[in-house]
Structure 1
Amino acid sequence: MKLISVVTGCFNEQDNVDELCARIRHQFAQLPGYDYEHILIDNASTDATVARIKAIAAHDRRVKLIVNTRNFGHIRSPMHALLQARGDAVIAMASDLQEPPELIGEFIAKWEEGFRIVAGVKPQSRHTTALTFIRRAFYTTIGRISETRLIPDFTGFGLYDRSVVEIVRQLDDPYPYFRGMIADLGFAHAEVPFVQPQRKRGISKNNFYTLYDMAILGITSHSKVPIRLATMAGFLLSALSLLVAIVYLIYKLLRWDQFSLGVAPVVIGFFFFASVQLFFIGILGEYIAAIHTQVLKRPLVVEKERVNFAPDEK
């Protein structure tokens, strides 16, 4: 029997983990030719999430748990769990039930057709918020400026062949932009569209900062356009400044007594060029910060404990 690993990141999802595990169990009950393991990695939840998962794992050896020493974020933690999977294929999904486990059968069917990557894409969502519009605008922007073609409406939910997981392991990225990394590999992929349901229980852990972090990570990892725009803008603004200076000089020489510069143009010009400089210094800083993260080579997470893992899986 082929082994399928399901990997799920958790943080304060005590109201969802029971239903999540039950729905995944039900899906594999309809796939008798496959065995599965379900790896949940907890980012130091402050509620009863760990206790709930341990209770499930006590009755089902296929449910495995990794508990982190602290919250390592929504980027590093799921990647660490992905690399612990033993399956012939790995399915990554969130624990908030907004990525339906009912697509598992369709993912596996596409995988058996020969696709190494099966991406769950969400062109539609049943909830509309300001963050949703911001997220969609970002996906459109990064898709246009990226050096590789990213998968539209793809967040990482999908199935990955063992060969893909091993390549990701070799990349050894300490802070990966996963959806960009998958697109950068260049494998032919299948897309399975779904309508994202509303969250029934709990609250979203994404906020403006986490979305900003993800956006900047995607840009700095897969596009040089912003830093090159800064360079080109620097040339253009320098040329403009020189031209304005020459015009003022000539006008002053021709009308020495009548021409008075005044304070307003100086103040406006000062704040304009200062704001442009600060903006592009910020962009440069983001690229430097990304390089700094890569150079540090910190581990993805530090584990506190494991449940239902064999000794040789550590």
Structure 2
Amino acid sequence: MDRQFPVMGDGGAGEGGTLISIVVPVYNEEANVRRAYEAIRAELEPRDDLSFEIVFTDNHSTDRTFDLLREIAQADPRVKVIRFARNFGFNRSIMAGYRFARGDAAIQIDCDLEDPPQLFHDFIRLWREGHDVVVGVRARRQESPLRARARNAYYRFLDSISETPHQMNAGDFRLVDRSVLNQLALVDDAQPYMRGLISELARNQGAVPYERTARREFGESKFPARQLLKLALQGVFAHSTLPLKLATYIGLAVALLTATLSAVFLVGRLLHPERWPVGYATTTILILFGISLNGLFLGVIGEYIARIYDQVRTRPTVIVERAVNLDVSGGQYREEAPRGFQ
């Protein structure tokens, strides 16, 4: 079933010229939200050729994150705050932030400021030169060599199996033009993988290299190894049917090998029965091997079926519990009236 998503922002110049939306997804970032707000202000307020808004999407934080954001938004109407009714995951949070953005372009940045706001100006310059998406490319990042090699291997693998080209060493720090934001508003994906989706929609993508700092002083990363693995699998299942094809190919290869071995065993038993005793261990191993393959392939198929199931249920992408300084669909969200957002 096709659904048309509302375009929350129509672009257009703000009071200071071009309007830039800064999208900041947050989850338990009470130590960082005010610091991030001040850093963004410091970069964009001196410019008289543009105006800006900051859209914080709170993925149902359990600390004081929303209370602090509400205080900031009450003092500065350029700050928009959306709190979800529960944790909908990182990619859905980003999708909602982009759909609420009203700017001619939107820049996403993490609240911990591992990605430097100073690059906003380079992003905007390349955007004005004609790029509809500008991504920050990490020339170097402060992490263990093993993790860096695993990350690079994953993105090379994802790029090789996907029909959509993926920028190596690029994360979610990016600028997206209004034309791409309008296309995102039409996307009906229950489990979006935003990095691949935006790359797919981009027509002229630019890149800005930078060195990413490590999060040391202001809390721990919200992406432990388990979450990183989940995000990696989401990227594979969202942009490739290779796992299904591999299941088919491996299944055919195993079937062919089994048929060949069965024929050899049968001929051997007929010609030299004394040399071919009944092999209980061999039979057991083959049976267990077949069961293992079936379990593996059913798991792969199940992942895709689960995605289909989520898609056909046509549930809201997120449910907004509270909002501050936002006027959508003709009225401001009331804190006591949760609403679904497609």
TM-score (structure 1 length as normaliser):
0.95
Per-residue CA deviation, residues 227-277 of structure 1 (Å, 9 max, x unaligned), is 111111111111110000010111111111332132221222222222222
Q: 1:18 to 1:178 in 2, by over 3 A?
A: same
Report the CA distance between 1:208 and its aligned residue. 3.3
Q: 1:236 to 1:310 in 2, by over 3 A?
A: closer
CA contact (8 A) 1:11 1:45 kept: yes
Structure 1 equivalent of residue 34 of structure 2: 18
The question of whether the paired residues in 1 share the 8 Å contact of 2:152 and 2:168 is answered with no
Which digits, 9 at most, give the CA deviation of each residue in 1:12-32, with x for residues without a partner? 011111111111001102322
1:104: how far off?
Answer: 0.7
Helix, strand or coil at the partner of 2:318: coil
1:129 Cα deviation after fit: 7.1
* Matched residue, 2:273: 256
- Which among 103, 120, 125 is matched to residue 104 of structure 1? 120
The answer on whether the counterparts of 1:24 and 1:101 sit within 8 Å (CA) in structure 2 is: yes
For each residue in 1:215-237, what CA deviation from the matched residue of structure 2 results, as whole angstroms up to 9, or x when unmatched?
A: 22211221122211111111111
The 10-residue stretch of structure 1 (121-130 or 141-150) with the greater mean CA deviation from structure 2: 121-130
Please name the residue that 1:173 is paired with: 189
Matches within 5 A, 1:1-314: 1-128=17-144, 131-200=147-216, 201-310=218-327, 312=330, 314=332
Instruction: Identify unmatched segments of 5+ residues in structure 1.
Output: none
How far off its partner does 1:131 sit? Answer: 4.9
Instruction: Kindly provide the amino acid, as one letter, of the partner of residue 39 in structure 1.
Output: V
For each residue in 1:178-202, what CA deviation from the matched residue of structure 2 results, as whole angstroms up to 9, or x when unmatched? 1111121241111011111100311
C-alpha distance 313-203 of structure 1, shift in aligned 2 (>3 A): farther
Report the identity percentage. 36
**Residues in 2 aligned to 1:37 and 1:119: alpha-carbon distance in whole angstroms:** 20
Partner of 2:338: none
| Aligned mates of 2:275, 2:99 — CA distance in 1 | 74
**Structure with higher helix content:** 1
Residues 95 and 28 (structure 1), Cα distance of their counterparts in 2 relative to 1, 3 Å cut:
same
Separation in 2, partners of 1:163, 1:183: 13
C-alpha contact (below 8 Å) 2:21/2:102 kept by paired residues: yes
Q: Tell me the C-alpha RMSD between the 2 structures.
A: 1.7
SS class of match (2:274)? coil
Q: Which amino acid aligns with 1:122?
A: R
Per-residue deviation at 1:88?
0.6
The offset of 1:310, in angstroms, is 3.8
CA distance in 2, matches of 1:55, 1:161: 30
Aligned-partner SS, 2:163 = coil
Q: CA contact under 8 A between 1:217 and 1:290: conserved in structure 2?
A: no
Counterpart contact for 1:147–1:222, Cα < 8 Å: yes
Larger displacement relative to structure 2 (167-176 or 211-220): 211-220
Which SS does the other structure have where 1:175 is aligned? coil
Residue identity matched to 1:99: D
Separation (CA, whole Å) in 1 of partners of 2:292 and 2:139:
37
TM-score where L is the length of structure 2: 0.87
Q: Distance between the aligned counterparts of 1:30 and 1:141, measured in 2?
A: 42
Whether the aligned pair in 2 keeps the contact of 1:216 and 1:286 (CA below 8 Å) is no
Contact 2:132 2:202 in 1 (8 A): no
